Amino acid sequence: MTRPYDIATRHRAAGRIARAPDGAMAAGQADLTGTAPLLRVEGLTKRYGTRIGCADVGFDLWPGEVMGIVGESGSGKSTLLNCLAGHLPPDSGQVLFDTRTGGLKDTVTMSEPERRMLGRTDWAFVHQHARDGLRMNVSAGGNVGERLMAVGARHYGTIREAAIDWLGRVEIGADRVDDRPTAFSGGMQQRLQIARNLVTGPRLVFMDEPTGGLDVSVQARLLDLLRGLVREMGLSAIIVTHDLAVVRLLADRLMVMKDGHVVESGLTDQVLDDPQHAYTQLLVSSVLQV
Amino acid sequence: MTDQAYNFAYLDEQTKRMIRRAILKGVAIPGYQVPFASREMPMPYGWGTGGVQVSAATLTPEDTFKVIDQGADDTTNAVSIRKFFERTAGVATTEETARATVIQTRHRIPEEPLTEEQVLVYQVPIPEPLRFLEPSEIETRKMHALEEYGLMHVKLYEDIARHGQIATSYAYPVKVEGRYVMDPSPIPKFDNPKMSDNPAIQLFGAGREQRIYALPPYTQVVSLDFEDHPFDPSKADAPCDLCGAEDSYLDEVIIDDAGGRMFVCSDTDYCRARRASGHVGAKGVAEDAA
């Protein structure tokens, strides 16, 4: 059996330590001393009939913090992410999000319009396959502009400017603004998906295997870009992946899942360098060395 | 002569009752698509089965019925539907807009202003304005319910990005009373302003898609647009070659193999009435002589 973690205490320390050497993160650090977490998850459980999707997951995520969730296929990490993002209704538990107006609010019990509103303003969801997150028959500019129009932007010139600005930030040339994503490479599609998600300035980004299916050099550039954006915008993020290198690079904190349960969590470097749980040890030692 | 083998207006009374209920609901919630149990009609889908069912449920023995197809009273679709009701309902028919009490139309609104005494029945192929943007019916109904109409503007954005202007020229999406986004059926956008604040009852029937929706008299109907690209109800920039009308919607007709062409009113009754009262267009006399 796993020793239960006092996650709340542990990660708070983790956040401070992780930020301390990084001078550029002064703002994020100030947030960490704030009173409320951005996201508080308590006892989240999702079953598929008698099978467990994920069971009794709980953690706090603080503003500016990036958390990684790792585990093998079928460990429940995607189920967990979908429950957090409101795509799946959990069977029990709470997902409390620090809304701009009402403070901490349970997104599981909040009304659907409210939750969908969060989904296109304060939240962003980056799918593993860009095709799931993009409209493939709409131009790049339209894809980026959609969220703006969804929150009421009705000035073509302004929308287009914002779209071109965001394409630039994810290293897509302004001359590609009217091309459809079908004409883009896999890496570009993924970057377009990120631009489309970040254009409304979300505070929390959910990412499901953002680098899956990309070759390593494209992966590296994407990770670099993501790291820059997360730092620059002070984003909080939850990244689901099975790639330990990705979490090493991006995540401050790490949760390891196995069979629907969280078996270990803590500082990324700590967990990866000194894994305690047998499964984590297996996971870490299974990484191929180049 | 009424064909005694049929109930009045072809449909049985229970079916008409069901359709009238759908119509009443549609009138009560302007722009909302009411599902109804569409019947097989003795004509193929796409030939106005929805409009015919709405007309059948609307007609009374005292009504005078008019059918237009793209504005014309003498095309196949218009003639066959008019004959259908002459035979199954025995109602009086007319080609004069002013004399008709029920007008079934395919893709036009008559040029002559309608009155409170009249009902305009539209044939609708695809009632869902969001259909080509969002293929899932479950999702589009949710979007209507939650008033999430950002996607509609993505379509208009795409138009401007690709063509420099809103190139949608028919089935131009409208917003009804500030609430539901509605497909006006494939009428030219030139006709859109006529829908708003119209004294007549406007009913829409989609047979294959099994939807009925409605605009009660004097309903506000606004065509969607961008602040910097306002709605423009365009038409061919020419007068009618037969009657000289400058304010009517025109068809362009190729008249020989040498590229010769002429513009004529698409509303045949309007054109005839103008010529009868002495208006002559550039090619009007020659046409009449032939």
- Who among B146, B157, B158 is closest to A113 (CB)? B146
Q: Distance between terminal CA atoms of chain B?
A: 34
Spatial contact of A275 and A255, defined as CB atoms under 8 Å apart: no
Tens-digit pLDDT profile for residues B200-235: 999 999 999 999 999 999 999 999 999 999 999 988
Does the distance separating the beta carbons of A151 and B162 come in below 8 Å? no
Interface test with A, best of B142, B153, B155 (most A CBs within 10 A): B153
A21 touches chain B (CB under 8 A): no
Mean local confidence (pLDDT), A277-284? 92
Selecting among B51, B71, B205, B271, the annotated active-site residue is B271
Distance, in Å, from the CA atom of B151 to the CA atom of B137, rounded to the nearest integer, reads 15
Spatial contact of B154 and B162, defined as CB atoms under 8 Å apart: no
Which residues are within 8 A (CB) of B239 and not within 5 positions of it... i.e. 6 or more apart? B245, B246, B263, B281, B282
- Who among B142, B153, B228 is closest to A149 (CB)? B153
3-state secondary structure at position B102: strand
**In this predicted complex, what is the ipTM?**
0.82
From chain B, pick out residues whose CB is under 8 angstroms from the CB of A156: 157, 160, 226-229
Mean local confidence (pLDDT), A50-67? 93
Does the distance separating the beta carbons of A142 and B161 come in below 8 Å? yes
Structure confidence at residue A230 (pLDDT)? 86
Does the distance separating the beta carbons of A151 and B228 come in below 8 Å? no
B122 has pLDDT over 70: yes
Q: Tell me the nearest-neighbour CA distance from A21 into chain B, angstroms.
A: 43
B167 touches chain A (CB under 8 A): no
Mean local confidence (pLDDT), B252-266? 93
pLDDT tier at A6 (50, 70, 90 boundaries)? very low
Structure confidence at residue A290 (pLDDT)? 67
**Percent of chain B's residues with pLDDT above 90:** 90
- Sign of the alpha-carbon torsion through B70, B72, B74, B78: positive
Q: Which of residues 227-246 of B touch A (CB under 8 A)?
A: 227-229
Q: Tell me the nearest-neighbour CA distance from B163 into chain A, angstroms.
A: 11
CB pairs A-B closer than 8 Å: 55
A219 has pLDDT over 90: no
Check if B90 is active-site. no
A169 has pLDDT over 60: yes
Does the distance separating the beta carbons of B229 and A138 come in below 8 Å? no
- Who among A141, A146, A147 is closest to B161 (CB)? A141
B2 has pLDDT over 60: no
**Region of B19 on the Ramachandran plot (φ > 0 left; ψ -120 to 50 alpha; else beta):** alpha
Q: In this structure, which long-range contacts are made by residues B37-43, counting pairs with CB atoms below 8 Å and at least 24 apart in sequence?
A: B37/B210, B38/B206, B38/B207, B38/B208, B38/B210, B39/B11, B39/B15, B41/B10, B41/B207, B42/B10, B42/B84, B43/B80, B43/B81, B43/B84
**Percent of chain A's residues with pLDDT above 90:** 61
Check if B281 is active-site. no
Tens-digit pLDDT profile for residues A238-274: 999 988 888 988 899 999 999 999 999 999 999 999 9
Interface test with A, best of B152, B181, B226 (most A CBs within 10 A): B226
How many other C-beta atoms are found inside a 10 Å radius of the C-beta of residue B44? Answer: 10
A49 touches chain B (CB under 8 A): no
From chain A, pick out residues whose CB is under 8 angstroms from the CB of B154: 135, 138, 142, 145-146, 149
Selecting among B31, B51, B205, B281, the annotated active-site residue is B31
Does the distance separating the beta carbons of B161 and A177 come in below 8 Å? yes
Structure confidence at residue B132 (pLDDT)? 86
Does the distance separating the beta carbons of A157 and B228 come in below 8 Å? yes
Structure confidence at residue B285 (pLDDT)? 64
Tens-digit pLDDT profile for residues B138-164: 999 999 999 999 999 999 999 999 999
A46/A216: higher pLDDT: A46
Check if B51 is active-site. no
**Total-model pTM:** 0.82
Tens-digit pLDDT profile for residues A83-122: 999 999 999 999 999 988 888 899 999 999 999 989 989 9
Distance, in Å, from the CA atom of A68 to the CA atom of B103, rounded to the nearest integer, reads 64
Average pLDDT of every residue of chain A: 85
B290 has pLDDT over 60: no
From chain A, pick out residues whose CB is under 8 angstroms from the CB of B133: 135, 138
Which segment of A33-42, B11-20, B53-62 scores lowest on mean pLDDT?
Answer: A33-42
Does the distance separating the beta carbons of A112 and B146 come in below 8 Å? yes
Selecting among B50, B265, B281, B284, the annotated active-site residue is B265
A28 has pLDDT over 50: no
Which segment of A4-13, A49-58, B111-120, B242-251 scores lowest on mean pLDDT?
Answer: A4-13
Which residues are within 8 A (CB) of A266 and not within 5 positions of it... i.e. 6 or more apart? A5, A10, A11, A14, A253, A254
Residue reference for tokens 């993924």: A190
Structure confidence at residue A102 (pLDDT)? 81
Distance, in Å, from the CA atom of B98 to the CA atom of B112, rounded to the nearest integer, reads 8
